Amino acid sequence: MNVLEEVIEPVSASAEAEACSLDNYLALPDHTMDERIAAARRALGTTTILLGHHYQRDEVIRFADFTGDSYKLSKIASETDAKYIVFCGVHFMAESADVLGHEGQQVILPDLNAGCSMADMAEIGQVEDCWETLLRAGISAADLVPLTYMNSTAAIKAFCGERGGLVCTSSNARAAFDWAFARANKILFLPDQHLGRNTGHAMGIPLTDMVVFDPWQIGGGVSPERLRAARVILWKGHCSVHQRFLPEHVDKVRAKYPGIKVIVHPECRLEVCDKADQLGSTEKLIKIVKDAPAGSSFAIGTEIHLVHRLANEFAPQGKRIVTLDDTGCLCTTMYRISPQHLAWALENLVEGRVVNRIQVRDDVKYWARVALDRMLEIRG
């Protein structure tokens, strides 16, 4: 299935000439967009829903109708009657919204350059080559289940769906592993090696039974013997934000704030997760802070915008919330969506022009939806 990951609807030359110039927007200060965004939202009414991922900058997410992680937001949008879904997130999230959306809904990504470094580390051609390498190594396709993290392209989700696998989130990765091992002896986990390793480790799978497949090396950089012996084959990918956290950051923050509780995202490396008090998806990290008694202290290993937002929200309850790494861990691709991009996309919609539409090919959409629907079979 060597397919394009999506088709973005072309804009005709005449429509492009009529469209408001993005460059004119980008030359203006952030705060000058506020009233324009609000006015466009009023004009569009219920025809348009605006989704904001937790890692978006404050200047953008405050306009969102709903905030959350990618799967939650895509599900919410699919259950509305909105014709236009403006997703303030990154590329794979907009794809997921298109896969789950109902007929007639159109998904817009305000900046097409808002990608995800992790998702970009698994290209469909490389994954297909990896699969063939595993088969040539003597691994039976019937004994190998591909699992992909939500943070992957629609093409990778479709790849897994077509080969009997599914999609998982950080909160149900353990359940996805259980589901896969009930059907086969081996898992190919894409594209985040850390989430895969942390999940396997928590299940008691020895690190020696997990190998990392590097798509940039011949044979993945792993001998056929090691591939055959491994129970979990991890793709060499990671989150650029969460991989920055190091074990020494945990030691440093505990020395600085005695008694502080360290909570981190399972996309962090194993050495950090082992030192943390608790792991959790973005939604779980928020819940941990919310449910904690007044006066609690947390050092959180996740994206800096969310950490700062939580710190401000819970300061009135006397809760101290700091980032695990005080040099800051910004998701630069999420940050690309600015108030200017949002105003540009919305005002074009008001004028009847759909810009930056994300549209997944029908054949890719079908198998990606299969993989997502299978996720509903598991608990977690």
C-alpha distances in Å from residue 17, one per residue of 169, 238, 243, 344:
41, 40, 43, 14
Do 242-323 and 20-114+334-354 have the same topology in CATH?
yes
Give the Cα separation of 249 and 254 in Å (integer).
9
Task: Give φ, ψ of 244 to 5 degrees.
Answer: -70, -25
**Cα(125)–Cα(82) distance, integer angstroms:** 35
pLDDT at 190: 98
Q: What pLDDT does residue 380 have?
A: 58
The Cα 276–Cα 319 span in angstroms is 19
Asked whether the beta carbons of 86 and 37 are under 8 A apart, the reply is no
Predicted TM-score (pTM) of the model is 0.89
Report the amino acid identity of residue 33.
Answer: M
CATH superfamily of 242-323: NadA-like (3.40.50.10800)
Where are the chain's structural domains? 20-114+334-354, 119-238+367-375, 242-323
Q: Return the pLDDT at 4.
A: 33
Residues of the chain with pLDDT under 70: 1-20, 328-330, 332, 334, 379-380
Which pLDDT does position 376 carry in this prediction? 86
Give the integer Cα–Cα distance in Å for 84 and 190. Answer: 30
Tell me if 330 sits within 8 A of 241, measured CB to CB. yes
pLDDT digits (tens, 9 = 90+) for 296-337: 999 999 988 899 999 999 999 999 999 999 876 667 676 789
Contact 160, 190 (CB under 8 A): yes
For 20-114+334-354, the fitting CATH number among 3.40.50.10800, 3.30.365.10, 3.40.50.2300, 3.10.180.10 is 3.40.50.10800
pLDDT at 18: 42
In whole angstroms, what is the distance from residue 123 CA to residue 372 CA?
19
pLDDT of 55 reads: 82
